[in-house]
Chain A
Amino acid sequence: MSAMSRDGDTTVVGGPLLHVDGLTVSLPGATGRLLPVDSVSFEMAAGEVVGIVGESGSGKTLTALAIAQLVPFPAQVSAKALLFGGYDLLTAPPKLKRTILASRLSMIFQNPMASLNPAMRIGPQLIDGLRSSKEFRRREARARARHLLGEVNIARPEAAMRRYPFEFSGGMRQRAMIAMALMAEPELLIADEPTTALDVTVQAQVLEVLRQVNREHGTAIILISHNLGIISEICQRVLVMYAGRIVEDLDVTALATGAAHPYTKALMASVPSLERDRSAPLVTIPGRPPRLEERLPGCAFAPRCGVAIAQCSTERPELAEMSLDHRVACFVAIKHESEVMSRGEA
C-alpha cells in the first residue's frame, strides 16, 4: 500500500472512490500523542454503502471527520494515503481540496437543528449551500431544491421552502438535511448517526430516503451508527471499530452468522433482539474499553476477550484477509480459520 503515489501528482485515474490507508488522528496528551483513530485502512467503490459501527469513543465519527478534512485543531490527521474520487486529499492544494470536498462530498449529522440556520427559511439554506460551491443560476438552484425536497418525501415542497427549521418536526429536518446534502450531487454522503434522535417509525422513513438516494443517484454512503440493525438494513459492508481501530470488515449478509471477531460477536449478543428467547440472559462484555491514555501493546480488546491467548496481550493483530470480502484483526479468528482450511484440504 505504501507504493501509493504521494509525489505531488494529485490525480489518480480509476480505482475506488475512496482509498484510506493508515489514517490516524492524533491529539496532544500529557504523556504523549493520543490516538483516537489509529491506522484505519479501507476502500470504497463508487455507489457502495458502507456502515461503521462501534460504541462511543471507538473513533467512528473522527474517522469520518478525518476523511472530510473537518477534524478540529489541535487534532492532526496523517495517513499513508487518502484518495477521494481520484484526488489525493493529503497533497491537494487547499483551494482545490475545498472545491472537491464542497462539491463531491456531503455530510449529515445527528442533530439537524445544529446544522440548520434557525433564522433562515429552508429554501434559501438549500440554495445558498449549492451556489457557494457550484456555478448555478438562482432559478435553477431553486427548482433543484424544490425537486429534492419532494424526493425526500417532504409534502408540498414549495410551501416547505418558505418555512423555518423550527416549523419542521425532527424527521422532516433530517430529511431536509439530506436534501441539502444532495444539492451538489455528491459522490459520497457521510451520515453520522442520522437517526439516533428519531423515533423508530420516523427512522424507518429516513432510512428509506437514504436507500432511495443510493439507488437513484448512485451516491456512495458511509453510515455511522451504534446500531447494528440499522447498518444491516441499508449497508452492503460493515466496518466494526473498537478503540480507534477497525477490528472487522465484513459483508453485511455475513454479519448474523459469519462474524469472526470476538468483539463483533459480543456486540451482537449484548443487544436484546426481537427473535431471541426473552428469558435467555444477555451476554455482557466484562470491563470497559481502554482509555485513550492507555496504550496496550497488544490487542485493545484482549483484557475483555473471552478467547484471548498469550499472543493477544503482547502483539497487536493487524487487519488481515480471512476470506474474500472479510478482514479481521484477531489472532484467534485467523488461526481458527486456517485450521479449518487445512482440515478441509487434508
Chain B
Amino acid sequence: MARLDVEDVSVQYGTGRNSVTAISNVDLVLDGSMTLGIVGESGSGKSTLARAIVGLLPLSNGLILFDGVCLPSKGMHGRKGLALQMVFQDAHSSLNPRMTVGEAVDEAVASRKGRMSRKARSAETERLLDLVALDPSVRERFPHQFSGGQLQRIAIARALAVEPQILILDEVTSALDVSVQATILVLLRELQAQLGLGYVFISHDLAVVRHLSDWIAVMYLGQVCELADADSLFRVPAHPYTRSLIESIPVIGQGRPAKERILTGEIPDPRHPPAGCRFHTRCPQGPLTQPDRAICCESDPQGLLKLAEHRVACHFPLDRPVGTRADVGNNHDGHFSQIRADTSQGL
C-alpha cells in the first residue's frame, strides 16, 4: 500500500518583493487506497499543491515522502516519481494533437521500467484503453476526434500506463457536462476498487469532492483550514469558512440561503495575506461581527488541534464535532502526528 506524506510544505513563486507564497505549511497524508479531496476557491493554492506533490514545482520548505522515502524537493521525482501521476483539467491540451491516441498511450507505456517488446506494448495499450472503457479501435484516431469525456479517459489511461499507485486529479471533471462528469466519477471509483489506487482529488465543487473522497482538506489562501473525514466535514463543519462554503452551494428545492449567510468580499491578495487568521477579513464569526475576538487579527490559528482526526485552524471553531474518533478505524492512527500540537494556545 502506497503512502504519501506532505510535511510542512510551502511553495513560493518569484523572489524578493514580488514573491508570493502560494501555499504555506501544508501537512497532509494519503494512506493506501483512499481518496483525499482538496477543496477551495480559486487562489487557494489547490493546483499549486498538486503540482508540488508531483514535482512540477520546487518546494521552498518541507518534504514530500512517498512510502517513507523523501522525494527531491527540486526538479522531477525521477523513477520513484512514476508512482505519482497527475491528470489535468484540460485533457485536450495535455495530448499531442499530431499523435494518434494509440501512439500517445504507447509512448507512456514505453517509459515503464524494463524492456518491452513492441507486441507486448501494443497489447498493454489495448488493455489500458479497455480499462477506461474505450473501444480498442479508437487507437488510430487523433485527439480532435474525441469528446471531452473521452479525452479525459485517454488522459487517465496515459497516467495509468506507468502503473502508478497514486493519482493526482486536478479538476478533472470541471470542464465536463454533468452527465459526462458522472461517467468519469463512476470510472474513477471503479479504477480505485480494481487497482487499489490512492487519489488526491482536487476540485472547487464540494458536492463532487464529497462524492468521491474519504478525507477532505479545505484550503483558504494557501493554508489548510480544516481537515476531516468527508461525512463529519459536511455534518459538523467546524471552520466558519467551510460552513460558508457549504452554505453557498445552491441546492435543488431549497431556495436561497439567508442573505446574512452569504460571505462578503473575495479572497484577499496572496501577496499581502491578512495578519493573524487569514480568513478574519471575511469571517462571519470573527472580529467583523464580534469585536471581542481581536485574537483572530493577531494570532495565526494554524496548528491549533482540536481532535486528532478533525483538524481545524480556527480560534473559535463551531459546534464541537461528535464521534469523529469513533468513526475512524485504527488504520488511520498517527495520521496527523506531525501537527504542531500546541492546543493550549489561544483557546
Q: Indicate if the CB atoms of A232 and B252 lie closer than 8 Å.
A: yes
Q: Can you name the residue of chain B whose Cβ is closest to the Cβ of A256? A: B253
Q: How many residues of chain B are within 8 Å of chain A by beta carbon?
A: 42
How long is the Cα–Cα vector from A229 to B256 in the complex, in angstroms? 10
Q: Indicate if the CB atoms of A288 and B147 lie closer than 8 Å.
A: yes
Q: Which residues of B contact A133 (CB under 8 A)?
A: none
Q: Indicate if the CB atoms of B252 and A268 lie closer than 8 Å.
A: yes
Q: Can you name the residue of chain A whose Cβ is closest to the Cβ of B241? A: A201
Q: Which residues of B contact A285 (CB under 8 A)?
A: 179, 182
Q: Can you name the residue of chain B whose Cβ is closest to the Cβ of A253? A: B253
Q: With an 8 A cutoff between CB atoms, is B234 at the interface?
A: yes
Q: Indicate if the CB atoms of B262 and A208 lie closer than 8 Å.
A: yes
Q: With an 8 A cutoff between CB atoms, is B249 at the interface?
A: yes
Q: Indicate if the CB atoms of A278 and B230 lie closer than 8 Å.
A: yes
How long is the Cα–Cα vector from A109 to B249 in the complex, in angstroms? 21
Mask for B4-43, Cβ within 8 A of A = 1, else 0?
Answer: 0000000000000000000000000000000000000110
Minimum C-beta distance from A195 to chain B (A): 9
Q: Which residues of B contact A315 (CB under 8 A)?
A: none
Q: Can you name the residue of chain A whose Cβ is closest to the Cβ of B246? A: A274
In chain B, positions 65-112 with a C-beta closer than 8 Å to chain A are: none
How long is the Cα–Cα vector from A232 to B254 in the complex, in angstroms? 8
Q: Can you name the residue of chain B whose Cβ is closest to the Cβ of A155? A: B265
Q: Indicate if the CB atoms of A278 and B231 lie closer than 8 Å.
A: yes
In chain A, positions 183-221 with a C-beta closer than 8 Å to chain B are: 199-205, 207-208, 211
Q: How many residues of chain A are within 8 Å of chain B by beta carbon?
A: 45
Q: Indicate if the CB atoms of B182 and A284 lie closer than 8 Å.
A: yes
Pick the residue among A55, A204, A256, A284 that contacts B263 (CB under 8 A): A204
Q: Which residues of B contact A278 (CB under 8 A)?
A: 210-211, 230-231
How long is the Cα–Cα vector from A270 to B185 in the complex, in angstroms? 10
Q: With an 8 A cutoff between CB atoms, is A99 at the interface?
A: no
Q: Indicate if the CB atoms of B207 and A199 lie closer than 8 Å.
A: no
Q: Which residues of A contact B255 (CB under 8 A)?
A: 232-233
19 contacts between A and B (CB under 8 A): A172-B266, A199-B42, A200-B41, A200-B204, A201-B245, A205-B264, A207-B256, A208-B259, A226-B177, A229-B249, A229-B250, A232-B250, A233-B254, A266-B179, A271-B181, A274-B234, A281-B186, A281-B189, A285-B179
B residues bordering A, Cβ < 8 Å?
41-42, 147, 177-179, 181-183, 185-186, 189, 204-208, 210-212, 230-231, 234, 244-246, 248-257, 259, 262-264, 266-267
Known interface pairs A200-B245, A204-B248, A272-B182; 5 further A-B residue pairs with C-beta atoms within 8 A, sorted by A's residue number: A55-B177, A153-B264, A271-B181, A271-B207, A272-B208
A residues bordering B, Cβ < 8 Å?
55-56, 153, 169, 171-172, 199-205, 207-208, 211, 226-230, 232-234, 252-253, 255-257, 266-268, 270-275, 278, 281-285, 288
